[in-house]
């Protein structure tokens, strides 16, 4: 029988370690690109806990980006805001004004206008030099006609209306 060589080879592969940082990234990106935000988030969580990723800050950031995008595309703008605040300390160069605006746009596209407002107003506070671009993005939300009365009140209270 030729089963033993196959089993020995499988055992050898299993003993070589788990997934690489690139494996986690590719799997999470594939899930996200396929519209499976829940799976993408699970893979990101698993990857961020793996030694291969913990040793590679650039790989960790790539997974964090997928997490942010998955949350935004999943209509979880409030979670995006929270994650951006957490990541701003560890990745100050990467967490920039354009990232806030991009994620807010994805949240709005997913139907989470309130979450998009949260992300945009948080970005405006973090990047006062970019105030005009955040006001422009908020104006685009206003002109879309998709704001409910509570969202209009929130924008008024924050001084955007």
Q: What is the pLDDT of residues 31-88, one digit of tens each?
A: 999 999 999 999 999 999 999 999 999 999 999 999 999 999 999 999 999 999 999 9
* Dist CA 106 CA 6 (whole Å): 47
First to last CA, the chain: 78
Of 12-26, 41-55, 91-105, 147-161, the range with the lowest mean pLDDT is 12-26
4 pLDDT more than 60: no
Place of tokens 């790539």: 62
| Contacts with 143 (C-beta within 8 Å, 6 or more apart), sequence order | none
pTM score, whole prediction = 0.84
């Amino acid at each position: 029988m030729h089963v033993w060589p196959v089993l020995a080879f499988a055992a050898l592969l299993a003993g070589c370690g788990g997934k690489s940082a690139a494996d986690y990234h590719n799997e999470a990106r594939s899930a996200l690109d396929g519209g499976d935000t829940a799976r993408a988030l699970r893979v990101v969580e698993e990857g961020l806990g793996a030694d291969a990723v913990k040793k590679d800050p650039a790989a960790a950031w790539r997974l964090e980006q997928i997490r942010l995008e998955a949350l935004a595309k999943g209509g979880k703008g409030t979670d995006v805001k929270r994650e951006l605040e957490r990541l701003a300390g560890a990745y100050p160069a990467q967490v920039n004004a354009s990232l806030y605006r991009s994620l807010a746009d994805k949240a709005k596209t997913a139907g989470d206008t309130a979450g998009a407002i949260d992300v945009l107003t948080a970005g405006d506070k973090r990047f006062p030099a970019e105030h005009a671009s955040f006001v422009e993005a908020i104006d685009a939300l206003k002109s879309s006609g998709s704001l409910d009365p509570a969202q209009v009140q929130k924008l008024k209270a924050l001084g955007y209306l």
